[in-house]
Structure formats: C-alpha cells, structure tokens
Amino acid sequence: MFGRSKGPDFPPINVEGEGQLRARLRTSEGDVIVRLFEEKAPRTVANFVGLAQGAIEWEDPNNGETTTRPLYEKTIFHRVIPSFMIQGGDPLGQGTGGPGYRFSDEFHATLRHHKPGVLSMANSGPNSNGSQFFITEVATPWLDNKHSVFGEVIENMDVVKAIARVPTNPVNNRPQNDVVLEKITIYRGENPPD
C-alpha cells in the first residue's frame, strides 16, 4: 500500500484567485464543498491538492506505473459507516491502496474531530498518510492526534449523510453500489469554476 517515505517536497499550492482554499468533491450522490486548512496543515493540504490536480507523481497500484494523472478521479468511497464517517481516496477501491509513498502526520492544536464534516487523513498507524481520507458524520474526538485534520465541509453536508447511509456489505462496510468520486476541483473564493 505504501512504499517510500516522502520528504517535505510537495509542490507549492498553485491555485489562482483570492480567498479561502476550497475543494468541490463531485460525487455520484452530489457535490460536497470543503474548506482546506492550508495555513494549519500545509503539507497535508499540499498532498491532497497535488494529487487532485495531477501535480504529484504517484505510483498506480493497479499497474505499478508512475503517473501524474489526478489520483482521485473515478475512485470510490470504499468504506461508509452511518453515524461515523465516509472514506475514499484509494486508487484500488479496497482500503489497501495509496500513492506509493507515505508522509508524516501533521497535527495542529486547533484542528480537531469535534464536529460533523471534518476532513481528515485515513492511515494505518503513525506517519502512514498517503491518499486516503475520510469525512466525519459526527464528532469523533478519539481520532484527535491520530489522524491529520486538513479541512471541513462548508456546503452540502446532507450529501455526506446520504453517502453514509447507502446500503453496504456488513462485513467490510463497502457500498453495495459504488459511490463514485467523479472529480475534485480546487479553487479559491466563494464559487467553484464550472
């Protein structure tokens, strides 16, 4: 799932405009708008933005090829648990894939899993971040200082709730019908580009 460790060499965030850095997650269930905390979680946000925009080289676990294709396009939410969270960002769609590298945790005293809609990195233990992320549906304080918070939902939390309630396989919490993350658009300001 992982591989090499990645140093502090994520590309700079290159998004035109002014204002808050945001991402529109276009899913098969509707759009979710998140604010990204670039000041408080700069490396984690740079990784997410770089993978979303195709600005970071990563190793596709499906074929072993190195690519700069936007990683998140056409991936699925492979794990959804009502009254907990929805998880995606795995190029394999199974919960075991990633970009072929891992990077260290990034915690900030004011970034907590204290409410619904927190965007955070999924991991398999300390300093094992890659591409997988989750969005909380409720407060999950037991995840503080274990998972790096890097954003929050600011519009369409109802879509997160809908995804969390799709029928799933009770063994692995995978949706019975794929919930697809079609594309992530990174932008600044109030309105996402079309």
Which residues carry out catalysis?
A: 79, 84, 87, 123, 134, 143, 147
User: What φ, ψ does residue 45 adopt, rounded to 5°?
Assistant: -65, -40
The partner residues of 79 in beta bridges, in order of sequence, read 87
How do the residues of the chain divide into helix, strand and coil, expressed in percent and rounded to 5? 10, 30, 60
Return the residue matching tokens 């699925």: 76
> Please, what's the b/e burial string for 65-75 (b: 16 or more CB within 10 A of its CB; e: otherwise)?
eebeebbbeeb
CA quadruple 42, 20, 144, 108: dihedral, nearest 10 = 50
Q: How far apart are CA 191 and CA 1, in angstroms?
A: 35
User: For the chain, what's the residue count?
Assistant: 194
Residues 59 and 75: beta-carbon distance below 8 Å: no
Q: Give one DSSP letter per residue of 11-26, joined into a string.
A: PPP---SSS-EEEEEE
